[in-house]
Amino acid sequence: MASEYKEKKWDESHRKCIAEANRQLIEFDAKHTSSNLSDSEKLTKEDLEAKLEILNNSEKKFHDAGPVYDCVLFHDGEQWWCCVDTSEQGELEKCPLLGEYSLTHDYAPLTPSDNLNFSMNVHDKGNTLELVGLCCM
């Protein structure tokens, strides 16, 4: 999942950002001679160079902490329910609503194309939500 995320979400947009920063720096250098820069132009050039350096360093230091999903846990007076925002867009109406697995045996796929199903458990009178993953092929 991490390498797929990096390829689909990070690499393409990061390459575009580097290309744009490079283009801006080249255009700046083409319009200005480095010997006659005003203080404002020097700051602009330093900013463009710093932006490019940060973008290049961020590629080397890239770390994917994995997916983060918002969860809404509530008790309806009889049992605990959990809605997990697997859309990552805040569109809860499109997300699975699961009861505690020990009572309902509810489970759902993490994403539509995923072989990873999950269920939920509640501990400590609702203070701890546990999402449990089960891979199936």
Domain boundaries, the chain: 2-60, 71-135
Which pLDDT value is given to residue 17? 93
C-alpha span between 84 and 108 (Å, rounded): 10
pLDDT at residue 49 is higher than 90: yes
Q: Stretch 80-99: mean pLDDT, rounded?
A: 87
Predicted pLDDT of residue 136: 62
pTM, 2 dp: 0.54
Asked if 110 and 116 touch (Cβ cutoff 8 Å), the reply is yes
Phi-psi group of 77: left, alpha or beta (phi > 0 → left; psi -120 to 50 → alpha; rest → beta): left
Asked if residues 123 and 130 have their Cβ atoms less than 8 Å apart, the reply is yes
**pLDDT for residue 1 is more than 70:** no
Neighbours of 55 (CB within 10 A): 17
pLDDT tens, position by position, 35-48: 788 899 999 999 99
